[in-house]
A and B are shown apart, each in its own frame.
Chain A
Amino acid sequence: MLRNKLVLIVVALSYLFLVLFIPASTVFYEAFHRGINAFVAATTSREFLQAVKMTIIIAAIAVPLNTFFGLCAAWVIARNQFRGRALLISIIDLPFSVSPVVAGLMLILLYGRNGWFGNWLEIAGIKVIFALPGMVIATLFVTLPFVAREVIPVLEEMGSEQEEAARTLGASDWQIFWRVILPNIRWGLLYGVLLTNARAMGEFGAIAVVSGGIIGKTATLPIFVEQAYKNYQTEAAFGAAVCLGLLAAVTLILKEILERRTAIASK
């Protein structure tokens, strides 16, 4: 038993090292091999801070919206048997298989100068593409599936008995959601939000198409990375990449807190 456990751990870890950790370590190496000063200089520039701000604003809008949608969609799919259920799930999956560049192109075709709504927006004086709204929509698009897809399996695994029991006892929908469903799906929901957030912050392709990459204005961190790299500012580029990794780790601290709390609550 113990031997099995060791073998499993070793195999899993070697795989992670081979595919993930060793490649990722080169990012840290590039960021720090010329000392911490280059890294500090790169990460305190005005352009960099503005890029951080943009990245956080976009994530702060996109993550809650997609979480809300994801919960609704997961409930619809897990609690109802209907024709076209597999089709609906597959449609929700689609944003991943759409190449980010194509996703950006779609939005250009809709809201760009020559797009479907281009004229109306121009008349109304609303800027969508090459401004924050377009970047938010692009982020919503590429991160759409996460929450729904993480919550569905947990909802299905949980079954609907508890909800029905609560309903017969006279609980309202709202109470059922907060008291029965939420505690049960919390892990799935959490992982969904984590992934949404990580991807929302790290997305490059789709954002690059709709942001215009104006330095200090519409550049997000991934765009900053690209621009710095193309400009031979290697430390700045990889430093920013490290920061992105850390930003995503912030959400993991939230997970840790949640884990502790539930551990206390269940005692």
Chain B
Amino acid sequence: MIPKQRRFAGLMLAGIVLSGAIASCASSDRSDKAIKLTLVSYAVTQSAYEQIIPQFVEEWEEKTGQTVEFAQSYGGSGSQTRAVIDGLEADVVALALALDTQKIVEAGLIEAGWEEELPNDSIVHKSVAAIVTRDDKLKLNNWADLARDDVQVITANPKTSGGARWNFLAFWGSVTQAGGSEQQAANFVAKVLKNVPVLPKDARESSDVFYKQGQGNVLINYENEVILANKKGEKLPYFVPTDYNISIDNPVAVVDANVDKHGTREVAEAFVQYLYTPAAQREFAKVGFRPVNETVAAEFSAQYPRIDKLFTAKDLGGWQQIQTKFFDDGAVFDKLLAEVGK
């Protein structure tokens, strides 16, 4: 009995040692000289960063002689934020909204006051909300038309999608910023939600449900997502409401705790600074983001209609207040949805 048990145990042990060995092989990289920088961002930025990173790596090597190797991770903004808080050792985070970056501050990984460390309150690119219509017959002129009975709106769920939170704020702000009361805003949003047949998980899925699956006749999405979809062959008419619109601000930040641990502060800070250079800004503009650099913005002005009254998260009370007021459990969004859901 005993020897056989040992043999089994031995086999088991061998299995475990083997898995451990493979694990350590897989995680140890060959090149020791290169500096490693981990960038964690949200899904739609990938095509821009794929262009920007090689340029930065080249420039940095010329300047300092050091090679930088990038590890990149892209996913839903909320999931990415959670991963960083739970130990994904990002040196730089570029998330969809400041609320997510703020969560990392609360976890003690980024020092408070990160907004001041970079130009333009650390906002690296912007966007606005856009409205795509299924065909030209459906004439929509402004936000208020979304409440019409012949409209079926596809928008992602603000509970799971950072992007959809911006959409919701656009609905709300189009009323309150024009001088309407909160009650009027709530009534309007309730009517829009009544017209919502599907609540996809994120911006990309809402595009899919609208373009591929043919649900609804109106899609609300980031302007940049719509431009990107257009470039990838989904050609449907869209317009950007120019009377009132939300300024979708995407921040970037260096994760202080991790760069200090890795000794990568210098290069990480150089990288986020680089994102503000015309070269990098141009790459963002190419995939549909509104650049924050004035010169580059002027170059691409044909692509981006001017908004008369652009409001930000700050105008609606700042992210902390927005989250508790609108999106927490039992807050405004839940209430309105329950109203129309029953």
Contacts and interface: CB of A to CB of B under 8 A. Distances in A.
Contacts of A232: 47, 228-229, 232
Contacts of B79: 208-209
A156 to B, nearest CB: 23
Nearest to A62: B19
Interface string B6-22: 00000110010011001
B22 A213 contact: no
Given A61-B22, A131-B23, A232-B229, A113 B87 contact: yes
Interface stretch (B69-77, B140-148, B318-326): B69-77
B105 interface: no
A231 B22 contact: no
Interface string A222-242: 000011011110000000000
A134 B213 CA distance: 36
Given A108-B86, A217-B71, A68 B12 contact: yes
Interface string A49-69: 000001001000100110010
B178 interface: no
Interface stretch (B38-46, B185-193, B307-315): B38-46
Given A130-B88, A173-B1, A230-B44, A57 B73 contact: no
Contacts of A106: none
Contacts of A61: 15, 18-19, 22
Interface residues of B, number: 33
B302 interface: no
Nearest to A127: B27
B75 A227 contact: yes
Contact of B86 (A64, A112, A226): A112
B75 A213 contact: yes
Interface of B: 1, 4, 11-12, 15, 18-19, 22-23, 26-27, 38, 40, 43-44, 46-47, 71-75, 79, 83, 85-89, 204, 228-229, 232
A42 interface: no
B43 to A, nearest CB: 4
B161 to A, nearest CB: 12
A118 interface: yes
A229 B27 CA distance: 26
A182 interface: no
Nearest to A132: B23
Given A64-B15, A227-B74, A232-B229, A57 B4 contact: no
A214 interface: yes
A217 B232 CA distance: 27
| A61, A131, A212 pick with most chain B CB within 10 angstroms | A212
B85 A113 contact: yes
A212 B19 contact: no
A115 B87 CA distance: 10
A127 B72 CA distance: 18
A208 to B, nearest CB: 7
A227 B80 CA distance: 13
A136 B26 CA distance: 13
Interface in A200-230: 208-209, 212-217, 226-227, 229-230
A174 interface: yes
A214 B73 contact: yes
Contacts of B4: 172-174
B74 to A, nearest CB: 6
A129 interface: yes
B38 A230 contact: no
Nearest to B75: A213
Nearest to B208: A229
